[in-house]
């Protein structure tokens, strides 16, 4: 049987398009199938447009808070919300064209339409419900990403009850917004809309804000958000939802004392997570194994059916763009028989781009103790750092956790300005199994934010020069 391509990839997000480029680099005749726009959710509806919005919010926040200190008068600041949203869309379009260029540069065949997997290593492509063509390949990678999870108590309409898709480009600023969930999506939109002047309320069912974070990071974030004026209800469940013509009311109940309160807003953003986007793509027909909504794969991303692979948000690994991209490279290189290094999923950086920013890698303090480690823990505040003081960005700290026995860097957790950039040094250090001594003997530039990493590690061993806590 002749084949159309050496490899076919479903989905062009940060997993799919990276897989296609790496496959082409390795000499494979490559096709990628996309039903919407190149770049997937990350580029079109997630990572990129939200960062543009957040950058506008941070500029506004900084000028309001520190303008006078730097001799900048800012009494009459006007927000052009339409321009802010338009700018984010322009950036998306620019990057989309960039990916399209990379497809052409690498000779990748881009097919637009809905892909349905078929037995015998085939993929049928549909447009407007009509079958267009069937393609065959010995290697098929499923990288169709994820879609928003909807709270079943809400009647999602995309207008009053929205997900991140609609929240990116609301036609006008709501006066009041309720955000359900305080993961990265909820936190970033909470900061953005609050900065734009919306009254924001966050409802979180877990006991702490940002449940996946280290407890001290979560506590500091809650303090910071509440100081801004964002209202937060943690450890509350949703009892009832009342949808009026011009507003939505939600009755919530405290899981601590069973007391209840009713909150009202113009719009509700449901950000309780995402689920794999694997419906109606033919998995059942060819017998690919699914467990708890995720495609099951081995360490080389092979499904239980020979020739079919899966990467990114459709498998049970961290749902992050950079994870999908690395899985894509590893998956393709394994297909080509290359000896690639396995991903260490405990060394994946996780970031939230609100203000203050949050980043982390490795174990939290609680997780370290639960795993039986005897640990050294230390914090270094940005208020002790010369560069932060000069920038008037002294909020937050870096927290480090080391194993007392072997000096292993178990985890690092940051909250403050630009920490989503700082975390990379820690990732590399942990990858190279650097000890505290090696970090402390590495010269960091002064003045710089990176000195905070040197100082935090030094604090764990009583050697910090500038730590004021």
Reported as a single tens digit per residue, the pLDDT across 293-307 is 999 999 999 999 999
Percent of the chain with pLDDT over 70: 99
CA distance 323 to 333: 15
Nearest-CA neighbor of 419 among 392, 397, 446?
A: 397
pLDDT, residue 17, reads 98
pLDDT at 3 over 80: no
Percent of the chain with pLDDT over 90: 89
Nearest-CA neighbor of 154 among 178, 189, 175?
A: 178
Q: Region 48-54: what's the mean pLDDT?
A: 95
Is residue 262 classed as helix, strand or coil in its secondary structure?
strand
**What tens digit of pLDDT does each residue of 347-368 get?**
999 999 999 999 999 999 999 9
CA distance 122 to 145: 20
- Catalytic position from the list 109, 215, 413, 446: 446
* CATH class, range 161-272: alpha beta
Residues of the chain within CATH 3.30.390.30 domain(s) are 356-460
pLDDT, residue 153, reads 80
**What tens digit of pLDDT does each residue of 82-100 get?**
999 999 999 999 999 999 9
Residue 76 DSSP symbol? S
Q: For residue 50, what are its two tokens? A: 């939200």
pLDDT, residue 433, reads 96
13 close to 321: Cβ distance less than 8 angstroms:
yes
CA distance 469 to 459: 10
Residues of the chain within CATH 3.50.50.60 domain(s) are 7-147+275-335, 161-272
Tell me the CATH number of domain 7-147+275-335, given options 3.40.50.720, 3.50.50.60, 3.30.365.10, 3.30.420.40. Answer: 3.50.50.60
pLDDT, mean over the chain = 95
CA distance 168 to 89: 9
pLDDT at 287 over 70: yes
pLDDT at 268 over 50: yes
pLDDT, residue 24, reads 98
Long-range CB contact pairs, 419-422, < 8 A, 24+: 419/351, 419/356, 419/357, 419/358, 419/359, 420/351, 420/352, 420/353, 420/357, 420/358, 420/359, 421/449, 422/359, 422/398, 422/449, 422/450, 422/452, 422/453
Instruction: Give the model's confidence band at 2: pLDDT under 50 very low, under 70 low, under 90 confident, else very high.
Output: low
Strand ordering across the sheet containing 122-127: 114-118, 122-127, 130-136
pLDDT, residue 1, reads 47
CA distance 318 to 228: 30
Determine phi and psi for 251, rounding to 5 degrees.
-90, 120
Peptide bond into 356 cis (omega under 30): yes
pLDDT at 72 over 90: no
Q: Which superfamily is assigned to 356-460 in CATH? A: FAD/NAD-linked reductase, C-terminal dimerisation domain (3.30.390.30)
Residue 314 makes CB contacts below 8 A (sequence gap 6+) with 142, 143, 144, 145, 146, 276, 277, 278, 294, 295
How many C-beta atoms lie closer than 10 Å to residue 258's C-beta? 7
Task: Name the burial class of residue 366, with classes exposed (0-12), middle (13-18) and buried (19+) by CB atoms within 10 angstroms of its CB.
Answer: exposed
Q: Is the pTM here over 0.85, yes or no?
A: yes
Q: Region 18-36: what's the mean pLDDT?
A: 97
pLDDT at 117 over 80: yes
CA distance 142 to 15: 9
402 close to 436: Cβ distance less than 8 angstroms:
yes
Whether 446 is catalytic is: yes
**121 φ/ψ sector (left φ>0, alpha ψ -120 to 50, else beta):** left
Residue 147 DSSP symbol? E
Beta bridge partners of 116: 124
CA distance 402 to 391: 30
CA distance 429 to 424: 9
Is residue 380 classed as helix, strand or coil in its secondary structure?
strand
**What tens digit of pLDDT does each residue of 121-173 get?**
999 999 988 988 999 999 999 999 999 998 778 888 888 999 999 999 898 99
Q: How far is CA 248 from CA 114, 158, 173, 260, in A?
A: 35, 13, 16, 16
Q: Region 60-81: what's the mean pLDDT?
A: 82
pLDDT, residue 63, reads 86
Beta bridge partners of 231: 201
Nearest-CA neighbor of 162 among 180, 135, 137?
A: 180
């Amino acid at each position: 049987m002749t084949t159309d391509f050496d490899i076919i990839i479903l989905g062009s997000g940060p997993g799919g398009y990276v897989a296609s480029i790496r496959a082409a680099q390795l000499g494979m005749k490559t096709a990628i199938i996309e039903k919407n726009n190149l770049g997937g959710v990350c580029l079109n509806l997630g990572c990129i447009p939200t960062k543009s919005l957040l950058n506008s919010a941070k500029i506004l926040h900084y000028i309001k808070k520190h303008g006078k200190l730097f001799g900048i008068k800012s009494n009459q600041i006007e927000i052009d919300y339409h321009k802010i949203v338009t700018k984010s869309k322009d950036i998306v379009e620019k990057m989309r064209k960039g990916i399209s260029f990379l497809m052409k540069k690498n000779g990748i065949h881009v097919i637009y339409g809905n892909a349905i997997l078929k037995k015998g290593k085939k993929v049928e492509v549909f447009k407007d419900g009509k079958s267009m063509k069937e393609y065959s390949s010995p290697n098929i990678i499923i990288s169709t990403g994820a879609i928003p999870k909807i709270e079943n108590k809400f009647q999602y309409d995309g207008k009053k009850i929205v997900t991140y898709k609609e929240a990116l480009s609301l036609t006008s600023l709501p006066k009041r917004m309720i955000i359900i969930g305080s993961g990265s999506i909820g936190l970033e939109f909470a900061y953005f809309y609050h900065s734009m002047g919306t009254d924001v309320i966050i409802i979180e069912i877990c006991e702490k804000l940002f449940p996946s974070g280290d407890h001290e990071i979560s506590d500091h974030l809650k303090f910071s958000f509440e100081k801004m004026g964002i209202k937060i209800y943690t450890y509350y469940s949703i009892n009832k939802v009342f949808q009026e013509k011009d507003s939505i009311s939600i009755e919530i109940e405290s899981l601590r004392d069973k007391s209840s309160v009713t909150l009202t807003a113009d719009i509700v953003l449901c950000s309780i997570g995402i689920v794999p986007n694997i419906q109606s793509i033919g998995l059942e027909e060819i017998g690919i194994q699914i467990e708890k909504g995720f495609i099951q794969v081995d360490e080389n991303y092979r499904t239980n059916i020979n020739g079919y692979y899966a990467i990114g948000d459709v498998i049970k690994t961290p749902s992050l763009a950079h994870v999908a991209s690395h899985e894509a490279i590893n998956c393709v290189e394994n297909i080509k028989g290359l000896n690639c290094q396995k991903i260490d999923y405990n060394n994946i950086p996780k970031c939230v781009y609100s203000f203050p920013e949050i980043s982390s890698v490795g174990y939290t303090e609680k997780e370290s103790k639960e795993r039986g480690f005897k640990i050294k823990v230390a914090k270094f505040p940005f208020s002790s750092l010369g560069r932060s003081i000069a920038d008037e960005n002294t909020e937050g700290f870096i927290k480090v956790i080391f194993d007392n026995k072997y000096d292993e860097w178990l985890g690092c957790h940051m909250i403050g300005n630009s920490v989503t950039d700082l975390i990379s040094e820690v990732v590399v250090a942990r990858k190279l199994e650097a000890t505290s001594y090696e970090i402390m003997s590495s010269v960091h530039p002064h003045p710089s934010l990176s000195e905070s990493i040197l100082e935090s590690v030094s604090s764990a061993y009583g050697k910090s020069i500038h730590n004021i806590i």
